[in-house]
Chain A
Amino acid sequence: MKDQKIVNLIKEGNELGFIKLADKYEKLLFYIAKGILGSRTEDIEECVNDTYIKFWNNIDKYDINKASLKTYLKIIVRNTAINRLRDLSRHENNQISDDISEVAKYYADNRQDVEDKIFAGESIKKLNELIKGLKPKDKEIVIRKYFYLQSSKQIAKAMKMSVTAVDSRASRAKKKLKNDFYKE
Chain B
Amino acid sequence: MNEINLIDMLSYLDIDLLENDNIESDLSKAGTVFKIIIYIFASMAIIASLLGILLKKKKKIKPRKLTHKFPKKVLKLVASL
B-contact 0/1 string along A14-34, CB 8 Å cutoff: 000000000000011001100
Question: In the complex, are the beta carbons of A114 and B2 less than 8 A apart?
Answer: yes
- Nearest neighbor of A30 in chain B, beta-carbon distance: B27
Interface segment among A5-13, A45-53, A67-75, A161-169: the answer is: A67-75
Question: In the complex, are the beta carbons of B13 and A147 less than 8 A apart?
Answer: yes
Once bound together, how far apart are the Cα atoms of A149 and B21, in whole Å?
14
**Which chain A positions have C-beta within 8 A of B25?**
158
Mostly helix, strand, loop or mixed at chain B's interface? Answer: helix
Once bound together, how far apart are the Cα atoms of A79 and B18, in whole Å?
14
For window 62-111 of chain A, which residues contact chain B by CB distance below 8 Å?
66-68, 70-71, 74-75, 78-79, 82, 103, 106-107, 110-111
**Which chain B positions have C-beta within 8 A of A172?**
none
**Which chain B positions have C-beta within 8 A of A154?**
26
Question: In the complex, are the beta carbons of B13 and A174 less than 8 A apart?
Answer: no
Question: In the complex, are the beta carbons of B26 and A158 less than 8 A apart?
Answer: yes
Known: A71-B18, A147-B10. A117 touches B5 (CB 8 A): yes
- B9 near A: Cβ within 8 Å? yes
Question: In the complex, are the beta carbons of B18 and A75 less than 8 A apart?
Answer: yes
Question: In the complex, are the beta carbons of B4 and A158 less than 8 A apart?
Answer: no
**Which chain B positions have C-beta within 8 A of A143?**
10, 13, 17-18, 21
Q: How many residues of B contact A (CB 8 A)?
A: 27
Question: In the complex, are the beta carbons of A74 and B23 less than 8 A apart?
Answer: yes
Known: A123-B9, A127-B9, A146-B7. A139 touches B1 (CB 8 A): no
**Which chain B positions have C-beta within 8 A of A114?**
2, 4-5
**Pick the contact of A31 from B10, B17, B26 — CB < 8 Å?**
B26
**Which chain A positions have C-beta within 8 A of B6?**
146, 174, 177
Known: A71-B15, A124-B9, A128-B13. A140 touches B1 (CB 8 A): no
- Nearest neighbor of B19 in chain A, beta-carbon distance: A71
For window 138-184 of chain A, which residues contact chain B by CB distance below 8 Å?
139-140, 143-144, 146-149, 154, 158, 174, 177-178, 181-182
Once bound together, how far apart are the Cα atoms of A154 and B25, in whole Å?
12
- Nearest neighbor of A71 in chain B, beta-carbon distance: B18
* A residues neighboring B (CB under 8 Å): 27-28, 31-32, 66-68, 70-71, 74-75, 78-79, 82, 103, 106-107, 110-111, 114, 117, 119, 123-124, 127-128, 131-132, 139-140, 143-144, 146-149, 154, 158, 174, 177-178, 181-182
* B residues neighboring A (CB under 8 Å): 1-19, 21-27, 29
